[in-house]
Amino acid sequence: MQNKKDTSPIIVSSHDVHLDSDYVKWIHDIKERFRNTQIKAAIKVNSEQLLFNWQLGRDLVMRKAEEKWGSGIVEQLSLDLKNEFPDVKGFSTTNLWYMKKWYTFYAGDDAEKLQRLIGEIETQILTIRPRVEQIGKNVSEEKLQRLIGEFPFPDFFAYVPWGHHIDIISKCESIEEALFYICQTIEEGWSRSTLQNCIKSGLYGRTGTAITNFSEKLPAVQGKLAQEITKDTYDLSFITLPPDYDETALEAALEQNITRFLLELGTGFAFIGRQKEIVVSGKTRKIDMLFYHIRLKCYVVVELKAVSFEPEFAGKLNFYVNAVNDLIRTQDENPTIGLLICKDKDQTEVQWAFQGIQTPMGVASYDNVKLEEIKKQLPTEKEIQQRIELAEEEFNLSRKIREDSNRC
């Protein structure tokens, strides 16, 4: 009688395994390939779902659904879709309204202007696309930018989750602001809570608005990027400072919270050190904080002031920028830029102080107001209730007086 072939798996005991560096490298590669496969699959699913949402929003707009079938058509559509696909989330009435709002937010704007803005964003994303494409380059290969009606679905929308899109169209006031947060989400890999916090803090309004001379002192491309990475006001509410703090206390607090400070500075900043020593003509000088910007490929000298801007601050910053250029910068790196962050500033004083200075620099302010401090200025729940009760008493008393007066 012929024995059946044994198909059970072969189990090798651990003493028969000889691990070496080649195996470690191999298993690392396998893990990375699988992670990338998972992310690609997630992006593909997200892109197809977003395309569906865009099409459905388009249909509600282009078909003039409410005019054709009545004001309750969205609720009816929600019921029909949930009845057909009971296990699928995302067909609530609220979500369908968001789909319509999403399409209308972009397609309802000037088409020519919007196409230009989207083209600029796509060009900008090319600078980060190598990193993105490592985990999802099949998205662009599938040519997601298809014409939907008369308006194209931007392919880079696929890199942003639906929940992020909802927050963006619900809280942004313009197309420019919305596209700014989409691009930032892609570059930074923001979670939804991070996006919400950045919108709440008004990041869009603070970014790229610092007073600088970058456009005059740097090549066009570098000057534009340098301007984009600076803010008019930096939110330093994440640090705690004593009432009579000085620059040393400000520097120390930022160094202790350097990760949060780097997030506030923005993409591409790497921290070199605090009180960085440089020797000029035998004298030791110390830079408050020195950074390196990866995309700009240059050093960034940051000087901190716990007081309002004074014209002489520009001269000191100019000195440090020149020193870094001569003592630290290499030939293949771009010119160093300087950033002065003060408690407050006057635009005219800053502009006059910049006249005659050849080094690229900018001046910004900072805000250290904490939510807790704002809350202290607001009445407590008990105080509000007391005021309501007092108002009711006054109203009742006034009404009683009027009624007594009418009887007389």
What is d(CA 169, CA 178) in angstroms, rounded to the nearest whole number? 7
Supply the DSSP string of 270-301, one letter for each residue. Answer: EEEEEEEEEEETTEEEEEEEEEEETTTTEEEE
Q: Which of 173, 204, 235 represents a domain boundary (last residue)? A: 204
What is d(CA 107, CA 111) in angstroms, rounded to the nearest whole number? 7
Each residue's pLDDT tens digit, 28-65: 888 888 877 776 666 677 788 888 999 899 888 888 88
Nearest to 92 by CA among 155, 158, 162, 44: 162
Q: Residue 121 in contact with residue 155, Cβ under 8 Å?
A: no
* pLDDT over threshold 90, residue 372: no
What is d(CA 373, CA 371) in angstroms, rounded to the nearest whole number? 5
Answer whether residue 273 is part of any domain. Answer: yes
Q: Residue 304 in contact with residue 341, Cβ under 8 Å?
A: yes
Give the residue, 15 or 176, on which the prediction is more confident. 176
Answer whether residue 149 is part of any domain. Answer: yes
For residues 343 and 245, membership in a common domain is answered with yes
Q: Residue 53 in contact with residue 162, Cβ under 8 Å?
A: yes
Phi-psi region of 282 (alpha: psi -120 to 50; beta: other; left: phi over 0): left
Answer whether residue 296 is part of any domain. Answer: yes
CA atoms within 13 Å, Cβ hemisphere of 229: 25
For residues 228 and 81, membership in a common domain is answered with no
Nearest to 51 by CA among 125, 140, 142, 153: 153
What is d(CA 30, CA 4) in angstroms, rounded to the nearest whole number? 35
Distance of CA 115 to the CA centre of its chain: 22
SS3 344: strand
pLDDT of residue 136: 38
* pLDDT over threshold 70, residue 223: yes
What is d(CA 271, CA 262) in angstroms, rounded to the nearest whole number? 8
For residues 219 and 277, membership in a common domain is answered with yes
For residues 34 and 176, membership in a common domain is answered with yes
At residue 195, φ and ψ (nearest 5 deg) are -60, -45
Average pLDDT over residues 221-248: 84
Q: Which of 171, 186, 204 represents a domain boundary (last residue)? A: 204
For residues 40 and 105, membership in a common domain is answered with yes
For residues 199 and 54, membership in a common domain is answered with yes
What is d(CA 99, CA 77) in angstroms, rounded to the nearest whole number? 13
Q: Which of 146, 179, 204 represents a domain boundary (last residue)? A: 204
What is d(CA 166, CA 164) in angstroms, rounded to the nearest whole number? 5
For residues 250 and 272, membership in a common domain is answered with yes
For residues 158 and 219, membership in a common domain is answered with no
Answer whether residue 313 is part of any domain. Answer: yes
For residues 80 and 143, membership in a common domain is answered with yes
Distance of CA 28 to the CA centre of its chain: 31
Whole-model pTM above 0.85?
no
Going by the DSSP 8-state scheme, the letter that residue 76 receives in this structure is H
| Structural Rg of the chain based on CA atoms | 30
Q: For the chain, how many structural domains are there in total?
A: 2
| Distance separating the N- and C-terminal Cα atoms of the chain | 122
For residues 277 and 362, membership in a common domain is answered with yes
For residues 187 and 256, membership in a common domain is answered with no
Q: Residue 84 in contact with residue 150, Cβ under 8 Å?
A: no
Q: Residue 293 in contact with residue 229, Cβ under 8 Å?
A: yes
pLDDT of residue 403: 67
CATH code of the domain containing 338: 3.40.1350.10
Average pLDDT over residues 352-363: 90
Answer whether residue 53 is part of any domain. Answer: yes
Answer whether residue 392 is part of any domain. Answer: no
Answer whether residue 156 is part of any domain. Answer: yes
Answer whether residue 14 is part of any domain. Answer: no
What range does the domain containing 317 cover?
Answer: 207-368
What is d(CA 334, CA 313) in angstroms, rounded to the nearest whole number? 23
* pLDDT over threshold 80, residue 375: no
* pLDDT over threshold 50, residue 128: no
Q: In the structure, what pLDDT confidence band is assigned to residue 305 with cuts at 50, 70 and 90? A: very high
Nearest to 203 by CA among 214, 216, 218, 187: 187
SS3 164: helix
Burial of 112 (0-12, 13-18, 19+ CB in 10 A): exposed
For residues 200 and 229, membership in a common domain is answered with no
Contacts of 164 (CB under 8 A, 6+ apart): 182, 185, 190, 192, 195
Whole-number average pLDDT of the chain: 79
